[in-house]
Amino acid sequence: MINPHVAQIQSTLFEASSWYNALQVLVTKRVSHGLQLGGNFTWGKSIDTTSSSFAGDNYSNNPSAIVPWYNLGIVKGLSDFNVTRNVVINALWQIPTPASFSGPVGWIARGWELGGVFEASDGTPLWPLSGFDADTLGQFNGGPYDIPSVVAGCSLTNPSSGRQGSLQYINPACFTLAQAPNSAFYNAAPPMGCDKSFAFPTCINLMGNLGRNTVIGPGLLNWDFSAVKDNYIKKINESFDIQFRAEFFNITNRVNYAPPIANNLGSLDSTGATPPDFGVLTKVQVPMREIQFALKAIW
């Protein structure tokens, strides 16, 4: 029997919320003169207070799942998987062959099909923490809660990174340790005062003002192309086809860098300096140009 005088406490330690709004457009042109086109566009925004759990399955573009139970407003921001704009266009063209073509010329011109897929999208968001392992506000025993401050008016990213020599995508000059608002706050007695490891106004046990996922990673531009030729051999069978395929992936050979890995998102080290690998691009989202040829027998 449950004692009615015993208060029941509901834990909200693992509370989380999410919101999603989007405009989605789909356009299709059905086959005419051998041409078929399709395209879709999404312009949306996904916001949450956490995109993963403490189970180790976090997204690689952020160093940790951060859920400060006492104020979820600190971590309310773009979802780790948010892609604001994404457009995909596909085309397939069965090239018509004039009936007057015959003989070798007709064989060369007949049976061609061209296809392509083009994709363009914004990047996923990032949250560069300080990596300082300070005990912010005495609430944690170190760990990934070190939110740096951002210099007002500073451009957080270098969109041309990787295409003009430098691979440092995130601008290190924009990040600094949290600053005490005044000397009285800095000199206050614990637990309200600042850690005196650094001179005024640096206050390493105070959270900075950089919002969660306010840095947007590199976007994507990619075009895949294919050319296919069907060669029907009716002497064997009406449907017997020796098909030649030429496929080109990332045909423009564009370098599509992936966001900096989680290990490169520590904006400041224990001395307050910027680590040399901070914000550096090390991987690509899609391989460089790949070309493959194939013959298929279809019957």
Residue whose pair of structure tokens reads 């030429």 in the numeric block: 246
- In this predicted structure, the answer to whether residue 238 has a pLDDT above a threshold of 90 is no
Q: What is the pLDDT of residues 33-49, one digit of tens each?
A: 889 999 999 999 999 98
**294: nearest Cα among 246, 249, 248, 251:** 246
Q: Give the mean pLDDT of 223-232.
A: 94
Q: What is the pLDDT of residues 63-98, one digit of tens each?
A: 555 556 677 888 899 999 999 999 999 999 998 887
Count, in order, helices (H) and strands (E) of the chain.
2, 12
Residue type, 143: G
Bridge partners (DSSP) listed for residue 25? 41
Q: What is the pLDDT of residues 141-189, one digit of tens each?
A: 444 567 889 999 999 998 777 665 679 999 999 999 888 989 998 988 8
Residues 85/53, Cβ–Cβ less than 8 Å: no
Phi then psi for residue 8, to 5 deg, are -105, 125
From CA 275, how far away is CA 215, in angstroms rounded?
A: 18
Query: DSSP string covering 203-254, please?
Result: -TTS---PPTT-EE---EEEEEEEEEEEEE-TTT-TT-EEEEEEEEESTT--
Give the global pTM: 0.80
Largest CA distance in the chain: 97
From CA 131, how far away is CA 194, in angstroms rounded?
A: 18
